[in-house]
Amino acid sequence: MALTTTPLGRKVAFDMTEQTVLSNVPDVNVRAGPTTLYGLDLDNTTTSSSANWIKLFDDTGDGLAAAVVGNTARPDIIIPVVAVGAVGATPILGRLQAMWPEGLPFTNGLCWLASKAAGNDFAAAPDDDFRVQAVTAEAA
């Protein structure tokens, strides 16, 4: 599991933050403060058996891990990505992009996790590598 943020270029006012192995333990405040989300690239291609859900929180991250364990955390965004070969799988199997052209503000901070179930069920982590690349506004 590795979390990194890469500036996309001096003339592009965006950064790209990547988590190569999402788990059901949240990455908290990945931009170290408020940010605006423009896009996600979700890669579930190494998982052959199950869909995974990414869950995004507008949260400073303080206490979020405990709230996840206690199942009191509530995501702002929940997006499913089907497994490779699943019925109705996307043309690029196991890949999904989501874009907010106007930007989606996270006024407290951007946190995320992934699990194998819909809604606020955080109990089971993905079986295999489930990667996210997020394009956000450039750090101030």
Partner 1 sequence: MGGVTIPLADQFASRLHEAKTLTATPLNDIFSEFDATVKVKTVDIDATANTGEDVFVKFYDDVAPTVGTTLAHMVLKGKAGVVTPCVLPGGGVTFPTNVAVSIACVQEKGGKEGTTAPSGVVDVKIFAEGTTV
* 137 is a site residue for partner 1 (CB under 8 A): no
Q: Which is nearer to partner 1, 46 or 120 (CB)?
A: 120
> 26 to 65, contacts with partner 1 by CB under 8 A?
51, 55
- Tell me how far, at minimum, the Cβ of 2 lies from partner 1, in Å: 25
Separation between Cα atoms, residue 77 and residue 106, nearest integer Å = 11
- Residue 58 CB, nearest approach to partner 1 (Å): 8
Only segment of 18-26, 27-35, 62-70, 83-91 that touches partner 1 (CB under 8 A)? 83-91
- Count of residues touching partner 1 (by CB under 8 A): 32
Q: Please report which helix (H) or strand (E) contains residue 95, including its range.
A: strand 95-106
Q: Is 78 in the site for partner 1 (CB under 8 A)?
A: yes
Own/partner long-range contacts of 88-96 (Cβ < 8 Å, ≥24 apart): 93/45, 94/43, 94/44, 94/45, 94/46, 94/47, 95/41, 95/42, 95/43, 95/44, 95/45, 96/40, 96/41, 96/42, 96/44
What are the backbone angles phi and psi of residue 57, rounded to the nearest 5°? Answer: -125, 135
123 binds partner 1 (CB under 8 A): no
- Residue 96 found at the interface with partner 1 (CB under 8 A): yes
Binding-site ranges for partner 1 (CB under 8 A): 51, 55, 74-80, 82, 86-92, 95-102, 104-105, 117-121
